[in-house]
Structure 1
């Protein structure tokens, strides 16, 4: 676990949320000890003989005079230092307690900091008797403390929130602290909820994440495709019906060939009573590949393109548009493609206004034609740093007061390499959080997974199992997490890397896995 400066000193202190400041307790190297070696030798001479059985879990010194671990090693405490079989175990000082718990030796310094023995040194940790990560839904003040996935201990005292004994941002009159979906939330006496963004101790306004919300039914099972397929629109409708799909996502620019192809799809989908989601494929670059010249120019470009596409498709029943594809993951917009996106600082501050401008322009362009249309903004990986900054009118450098981007649907890409959407890593590999729950509470709009799949290198057998597992997870959470649709990528990729069909022939077992699931789990 990560070393911390302050910890709860003992279980009795937890009931009143009293915190003790940590001080020296030990370490694997460094730190000075002033123990009396001769006293230690006298104290441990009797303990060097190996016992045949280990001490019981929970045995502590004091009151015990020695502890025998599972290896038969005998542990003692003398002059504030820890000894194993009569020899000093690492460099320890001011130790007040040695504890044997669940097969591991721990020690505690006078300030309450615990350390666990690794076999060769000491690693800082919590008192193991406190337990591990708190159960989802644990709240304060009902419980005396919350332990998050990183091992941090959260407490509530006099309406103020503490993490490892230190205040977290500026909180007051807090009536509830909640551990839910891998995040810490709090509610004030006025009923407003906030979520901890874990960046500079920020608290962001939101709704109660526990409220179950069901998105409108009827388009849950979706598929991605392309405008230039050799399949006719009628064939695509027939194929999708055979797979149990009721929605389809396709990209479009202002190119007349693309618009006419998508019009043909829209006509067929309208006749079939199915949903066509149109991706407005405008990026942050101009036709020559140069970054658009500032926020105003980007807004105008986005507005013009979206208005043209919406005007063409409005007569044919298209009401959902996704404004941009992976705009947060362009060379100009993300600082490093390996970044998870959970921090706004993961993104390019200088080019941020261009991305914001083109997003705002596309939304406004659609609304100028169809005021009742729904516009989505697309994110990838764990890009809540980007989505929060756009929603709140912030720059990646933390400055605020800029135009906000407000979408009607949160859309996200969730390929296997990005992690499980319901437990996605906060830093790409660290403790996970429930992304749809976070978005539901933060933005209050439906959630669409507009692309999902495993990697192109996987076998069809692996892909089939992955489809069954992921659809099961999505389906289980659809009525609580405000998930409107999950759209598999892709119908036909021209090869066996992503497609579920190839030239009209089903690719199995992935195709059978998909259709078996949809037939047994109705979208209602």
Structure 2
């Protein structure tokens, strides 16, 4: 079976927590709206809390839910007569939904957490905006980390600062956990990462447009060329499970390729489809990283040409060019990185990976120009996908050959998170990855591997299968999802497989077949 790497997702969620050393700038004791000295020293406790929305000024004081009295004097915040943290130049004190906030002359808000002040938005603005919120229909959009987006004279701002060089913007959209923009000419762009100027605004289509791929290939299964099952047995197993597409990998070595050819012959006669994984990569036959992009391209081109030549006569029209190449020791900087930023990947070995992918795609196309070639990614690897698509390096330099694929393929295991709400940096913030890919690349989307972890009990796996298929099925006609391919038919044990030596593993197998039989692929 293919080597599994469990995503460690330990990156902290984005969002600031800063001690309030200044609230608007200046030094303690300078100007600022203040209540009287007597109010600042108040220690008496009132009988009831102030109304939510009370401010100082205009009120003289705020009483919180514990009865503590908050006041503002000479730009500093006091609670029961004692300073609450190190504050100065505070111009506003606010009580909102049971919490205390303050703001300075610069307009930045801070919330009191019981011991210190943490940076935040004005709580009266509300939390994360509803999906589909647009500017200028709304005065602002709040993203999942509290960033406030506004449209000012056709230019896009976040927290008051321009986000890249934008002009003539007629629409800003919050959708699927991302910020999208449209100019007066109708072209959409997505903000890939507000922290990285080179990747800020990338061309795309309107993400709200529902796209449905051709029906008939939705339910899929992974397998291996060296199974003891005969091709005829595989056909029977696939039909019994309600599957129409089978993913199997090989190199150009005849010991691997010939069994796949035999499977292709049987599947062609049975009206089933193959997605053939071409096992090219970034390492040469000695296990070393290829010397350069040209060597990687030529080697992988030759292997893909051989594979396509052997399989083309038997109805194979879909190929996946490389397996998890963004998740090799040579290509990812740290396996715990989610991959949402190009800088998550190895800049030195990037050309070799790009050359391998290009070689496999071109090798297939040299035999079958109309074949569909995919490149697979893992976790939240849009940083890698975008860089390849735009001809960029992880260090932000551009001008390299752009990679184009016909199918976007992705691997999504339980440890990676929900693919429709996957973390951009380990645990958050989250976004809808298939929606992003649909709008960015404009080609069908295949989840070519999915499963839970190898140590899970059969009951958990069965529940996971049912819930995941439910999500995938619901989104198939809106997110351009062509196929979802369970990993794996038979792993020789109960870690990943859905059967062992032809005998179904009861709970997972029943969950899978019950779903396929009751949810037609149409």
Kindly indicate whether residue 426 of structure 2 is the aligned counterpart of residue 428 of structure 1: yes
Say which of 251, 257, 260 aligns to 2:258. 260
Kindly indicate whether residue 519 of structure 2 is the aligned counterpart of residue 521 of structure 1: yes
In structure 1, C-alpha distance between the alignment counterparts of 2:497 and 2:147, rounded to whole Å: 43
3-state DSSP class of the match of 2:506? coil
Say which of 188, 191, 194 aligns to 2:186. 191
Q: Is 1:23–1:109's contact at 8 Å kept on the other side of the alignment? A: no
Kindly indicate whether residue 102 of structure 2 is the aligned counterpart of residue 104 of structure 1: no
In structure 1, C-alpha distance between the alignment counterparts of 2:367 and 2:422, rounded to whole Å: 37
Corresponding residue for residue 288 of structure 2: 290
| C-alpha distance 39-380 of structure 1, shift in aligned 2 (>3 A) | closer
The alpha-carbon deviation at position 463 of structure 1 amounts to: 1.0
Corresponding residue for residue 200 of structure 1: 196
In structure 2, C-alpha distance between the alignment counterparts of 1:39 and 1:419, rounded to whole Å: 50
The alpha-carbon deviation at position 33 of structure 1 amounts to: 4.6
3-state DSSP class of the match of 1:414? strand
In structure 2, C-alpha distance between the alignment counterparts of 1:516 and 1:266, rounded to whole Å: 27
Q: How does 1:173-184 map to 2 (within 5 A)?
A: 173-184=168-179
Kindly indicate whether residue 132 of structure 2 is the aligned counterpart of residue 132 of structure 1: no
The alpha-carbon deviation at position 162 of structure 1 amounts to: 0.6
3-state DSSP class of the match of 2:261? helix
Corresponding residue for residue 8 of structure 1: none
In structure 2, C-alpha distance between the alignment counterparts of 1:435 and 1:63, rounded to whole Å: 47
Corresponding residue for residue 357 of structure 1: 355
3-state DSSP class of the match of 2:361? helix
Corresponding residue for residue 38 of structure 2: 42
Q: Deviations over 1:419-445 (max 9, x none)?
A: 111111111222011111111111110
In structure 1, C-alpha distance between the alignment counterparts of 2:29 and 2:312, rounded to whole Å: 78
Say which of 108, 116, 122 aligns to 1:121. 116
Say which of 43, 47, 51 aligns to 1:52. 47
Say which of 498, 501, 514 aligns to 2:496. 498
Q: Deviations over 1:323-355 (max 9, x none)?
A: 000011111111111111111111111111111
In structure 1, C-alpha distance between the alignment counterparts of 2:364 and 2:269, rounded to whole Å: 23
Say which of 374, 385, 388 aligns to 1:387. 385
Say which of 309, 312, 329 aligns to 2:310. 312
The alpha-carbon deviation at position 400 of structure 1 amounts to: 1.2
Kindly indicate whether residue 88 of structure 2 is the aligned counterpart of residue 90 of structure 1: no
3-state DSSP class of the match of 1:364? helix
Q: Deviations over 1:472-505 (max 9, x none)?
A: 1111111111100010101111111111111212
The alpha-carbon deviation at position 32 of structure 1 amounts to: 3.6
Q: Is 1:436–1:481's contact at 8 Å kept on the other side of the alignment? A: yes
Corresponding residue for residue 160 of structure 2: 165
In structure 2, C-alpha distance between the alignment counterparts of 1:152 and 1:23, rounded to whole Å: 21
Question: Which runs of at least 4 in structure 1 moved beyond 6 Å after TM superposition?
Answer: none
Q: Is 2:21–2:87's contact at 8 Å kept on the other side of the alignment? A: no
3-state DSSP class of the match of 2:366? helix
Corresponding residue for residue 17 of structure 1: none
The alpha-carbon deviation at position 148 of structure 1 amounts to: 0.6
3-state DSSP class of the match of 1:106? strand
Q: Is 1:212–1:480's contact at 8 Å kept on the other side of the alignment? A: yes
3-state DSSP class of the match of 2:346? coil
Q: Is 2:490–2:496's contact at 8 Å kept on the other side of the alignment? A: yes
Corresponding residue for residue 456 of structure 2: 458
- What TM-score, normalized by structure 2, do the two folds share? 0.93
Q: Deviations over 1:138-182 (max 9, x none)?
A: 111111111111111111111111111111111111111111111
3-state DSSP class of the match of 1:422? coil
| C-alpha distance 522-33 of structure 1, shift in aligned 2 (>3 A) | farther
Say which of 216, 220, 223 aligns to 2:221. 223
The alpha-carbon deviation at position 53 of structure 1 amounts to: 2.5
Say which of 30, 54, 62 aligns to 2:57. 62
The alpha-carbon deviation at position 215 of structure 1 amounts to: 1.1
The alpha-carbon deviation at position 508 of structure 1 amounts to: 2.9
Corresponding residue for residue 410 of structure 1: 408
Q: CA RMSD in A?
A: 2.1
In structure 1, C-alpha distance between the alignment counterparts of 2:242 and 2:103, rounded to whole Å: 59
| C-alpha distance 302-31 of structure 1, shift in aligned 2 (>3 A) | farther
The alpha-carbon deviation at position 88 of structure 1 amounts to: 1.2
The alpha-carbon deviation at position 293 of structure 1 amounts to: 2.1
Higher relative contact order (CA 8 A, sep 6+): 2
Corresponding residue for residue 6 of structure 2: none
The alpha-carbon deviation at position 506 of structure 1 amounts to: 1.4
| C-alpha distance 103-223 of structure 1, shift in aligned 2 (>3 A) | same
Q: Deviations over 1:227-253 (max 9, x none)?
A: 111111111121121111111100011
In structure 2, C-alpha distance between the alignment counterparts of 1:60 and 1:394, rounded to whole Å: 50
Kindly indicate whether residue 68 of structure 2 is the aligned counterpart of residue 73 of structure 1: yes
3-state DSSP class of the match of 2:145? coil
In structure 2, C-alpha distance between the alignment counterparts of 1:106 and 1:454, rounded to whole Å: 43
Corresponding residue for residue 336 of structure 1: 334
> Paired residues, what number?
504
Moved more, 412-421 or 126-135: 412-421
3-state DSSP class of the match of 1:172? coil
| C-alpha distance 325-513 of structure 1, shift in aligned 2 (>3 A) | same
The alpha-carbon deviation at position 460 of structure 1 amounts to: 1.1
Corresponding residue for residue 251 of structure 1: 249
